[in-house]
Structure 1
Amino acid sequence: MKKVGITGQNGFVGWHLYQTLKLYKEEFTLIDFERGFFEDDASLDEFVSQCDVIVHLAALNRHNDPEVIYEMNTGLVKKLVASLERTQSQAHVIISSSTQEERDNLYGKSKKEGRLMLSDWANRAGGRFTGMIIPNVYGPFGHPYYNSVVATFCHQVSHNETPKIEVDGQLKLIYVGELVEEIIKAIRNDDNTHELQISHTAEAKVSEILALLEHYKEVYQEKGEFPAINSAFEHKLFNTYRCYMDIANYFPRKFTQHTDNRGAFVEIARHGIAGQTSFSTTLPGITRGNHFHTRKIERFAVIKGKALIQLRKIGTNEVHNFYLDSDQPAYVDMPIWYTHNIKNIGEDTLYTIFWINEPYDAGDPDTWFEVV
């Protein structure tokens, strides 16, 4: 197994890379990194000496003073190079640089100089080095006002704030999960490309992205309907948007129940995409689930009985508890990267309808087991 360490493992890309590598337990061992290691040579050397692969993601993206960004980013690389030299490391080092390398700004300059410093180290030490030049990254759990305009707009739209377009530019984008797969591919292939251009997977104007997010708010967040999804980009953007909603205060959502002398009628879901609908009965005290998805869109609808639905974001300890009762039929949707379960907490059989946007495929299940 390769021992992999990630500087900036709790950052946007670092979190996704760390959690994805954890899924491949037979292939990778993770060496934990802490921010304070850069301030203590002994701790940094211990970290470096344990790693077969170091993915350097720690960086400052935004600051009021561009000089601070430049000094911070180049300084972190200098400290990493010094540690690599002190420990005589033969690790495969991967750095995330940016397509802003060629722009006339200190952030782009800091990323390019950092990549070249590590390239020089690899040439001197005979090490392997991958210098990834990456387009704009978007996806769940990015920090608004920091990581990307997509993160900022998702937060603002989902929280009823008013976004403002400063420049309606054409953005070349890559989804964070796609970038993670590129990094894992480089690790597996022992890549030694010192200037590796990572292609964007989508392209859209800022105004087009905002229009889609406002559509998701209207159709999904306000009406409870699944919107039509016309491309892989829209699928990923919709899943991104859902992760910025305040789920603790949004779910469970009560259905509109229509009753007459024949009984009651409830509409479970309106959706503009294909999917699979399933029905289950669950005996008292029994729990189903305890797994998560990284791409699937899923709804649990309680029709009869009493249920506890629990969600927990992977890598965190906070558990969201949602209590549902068929006296007021309701549903909870499962955000990606949240492990979830449903438990019958009543005395009678629990009836649940499940809707998911893709049929189960044993060859590519996107179902990862982890107890909530």
Structure 2
Amino acid sequence: MEQKIKVGITGQAGFIGSHLYNYLGTKENIELIDFERSYFEDKSKLSNFVSQCDTILHIAAMNRHEDQQVIYNTNVNLVNQLIEACQDTNSTPKIIFSSSSQEEKDNLYGKSKRDGREALEQWAKNNNSQVASLIIPNVFGPFGKPFYNSFIATFSHQIINGETPNIINDGEVNLIYINQLSEVFYKHIISNQDTPALKYTVPHTATKKVSEILNLLNHFNKEYVQEGKVPNVPINSFEINLFNTFTSFIPLQSYFPRKFTKHEDNRGAFVEIMRAGVSGQSSFSTTVPGITRGNHYHTRKIERFAVIQGKARIELRKINTDKVYSFDLDGKHPAYVDMPIWYTHNIKNIGDTELITLFWINEPYNPEDADTYFVEV
């Protein structure tokens, strides 16, 4: 059996760090070593952390503060503490450093990244270790912090809350989606680096004007939030990544379940289940009373559960959190719940008759790339 690579992530609880933690959690050859921010305030805990790791992803950093000098001092100090912990324990893990395209700009944040990278490179050369510094473009993705991580997070938050975003500079922005960035980190974790210091400029995967992105977000809001339609978001595209980012800001408990329009006459009833700009795959299931289906999550797929007969309880829980969202649906009042990415979900028959559920997903099932990971809600 292949020996697992022990990987720790400083800044594990942050935007990039949490996504990396979840992404690497899907890899069978990776063993994750947990990190807490308080470790930087306790030398013994930080030393214990670095001594357990084969590879450390150094993500922890301050991005914004009123005083630029505080940003510089904080980021350089975090690097120095990490180096000191490695020296104190005679540990030589491979360190993958999250740097920024701001390195070449005349600001203290960029300087903190450049100086931190150079300090790590010198440590690697002196201690027979390795450092890979990734120069990262603008990153976007689900669960970002508005007014902090990305203008896309800010715009999405504002639109969902009925506010009007303001474009200050309608320039072109080079972007990379967080899942794509996680793949880059993973490749560097498993690669055989042949030099002590490697500097790698991560290529952006999209270039868009700010106004172009805002127009797409407003389009998603109109079609999905207001009209219940899934817009045309092709598989493996910038649009589907932006859509999944946008929908992550929808407050689940107040938005779902969404009721269908039910048309009844003397013949019976008619309900339109789905209207989408992509074809995808539709299916249905029958479930006997007391049985639960699901308990899995997806990292890219858009999925809808529509209860058309019987009583069901749909539960969702974001990976690595404790809060469970619960929705009770009854086929007498047809309704649906959509499954956000990175939320493990299930459906249980809570009635005393057969449950019939219709499922729609935006891409046909592929057993070789199922994007389905089993975790109990």
Length-normalised TM-score, structure 2: 0.97
Residue 23 of structure 1: how far off its partner (Å): 1.6
Identity of aligned residues (%): 57
One of 222, 225, 238 as aligned partner of 2:226? 222
Counterpart of 1:268?
Answer: 273
Counterpart of 1:239?
Answer: 244
Counterpart of 1:297?
Answer: 302
SS in structure 2 at match of 1:331: strand
Counterpart of 1:42?
Answer: 44
1:79-117 superposed Cα distances (whole Å, 9 cap, x missing partner): 111112222212100100000111111111111111111
One of 132, 136, 142 as aligned partner of 1:140? 142
1:60-86 superposed Cα distances (whole Å, 9 cap, x missing partner): 011111111111111111111111222
Q: What is the rounded CA distance, in whole Å, between the counterparts of 2:265 and 2:315 in structure 1? A: 33
Query: Residue 358 of structure 1 aligns to which amino acid in structure 2?
Result: E
Query: Residue 198 of structure 1 aligns to which amino acid in structure 2?
Result: V
One of 355, 369, 372 as aligned partner of 2:374? 369
1:35-83 superposed Cα distances (whole Å, 9 cap, x missing partner): 1111222111111111110110000011111111111111111111111
Query: Residue 262 of structure 1 aligns to which amino acid in structure 2?
Result: R
Residue 5 of structure 1: how far off its partner (Å): 0.8
- Give the gaps of 5 or more residues in structure 1: none
Query: Residue 225 of structure 1 aligns to which amino acid in structure 2?
Result: K
SS in structure 2 at match of 1:195: strand
Q: Does 2:11 correspond to 1:8?
A: yes
Q: What is the rounded CA distance, in whole Å, between the counterparts of 1:202 and 1:77 in structure 2? A: 30
- Give the gaps of 5 or more residues in structure 2: none
Q: What is the rounded CA distance, in whole Å, between the counterparts of 2:199 and 2:24 in structure 1? A: 24
Q: What is the rounded CA distance, in whole Å, between the counterparts of 1:352 and 1:46 in structure 2? A: 49
Counterpart of 2:331?
Answer: 326
Q: Which moved more, 1:34-43 or 1:125-134?
A: 34-43
Counterpart of 2:363?
Answer: 358
Counterpart of 2:181?
Answer: 179
One of 195, 198, 210 as aligned partner of 2:199? 195
1:273-328 superposed Cα distances (whole Å, 9 cap, x missing partner): 12000011111111110000000000000001110000000000100000101121
Q: Which moved more, 1:187-196 or 1:51-60?
A: 187-196
SS in structure 2 at match of 1:121: helix
One of 55, 61, 64 as aligned partner of 2:66? 64
One of 54, 57, 60 as aligned partner of 1:55? 57
Residue 194 of structure 1: how far off its partner (Å): 2.2
Q: What is the rounded CA distance, in whole Å, between the counterparts of 2:21 and 2:157 in structure 1? A: 24
One of 314, 331, 338 as aligned partner of 1:309? 314
Counterpart of 2:209?
Answer: 205
Residue 20 of structure 1: how far off its partner (Å): 1.5
Query: Residue 149 of structure 1 aligns to which amino acid in structure 2?
Result: F
Query: Residue 80 of structure 1 aligns to which amino acid in structure 2?
Result: L
SS in structure 1 at match of 2:170: coil
How do residues 100-139 of structure 1 correspond to structure 2 at under 5 angstroms? 100-139=102-141
Give the aligned length: 371
Q: Which moved more, 1:28-37 or 1:95-104?
A: 28-37
SS in structure 1 at match of 2:299: coil
Counterpart of 2:163?
Answer: 161
SS in structure 2 at match of 1:23: coil
Task: Give the conservation status (yes or no) of the 8 Å contact 1:92–1:190.
Answer: no
Counterpart of 1:99?
Answer: 101
Counterpart of 1:18?
Answer: 21
Q: What is the rounded CA distance, in whole Å, between the counterparts of 1:151 and 1:112 in structure 2? A: 26
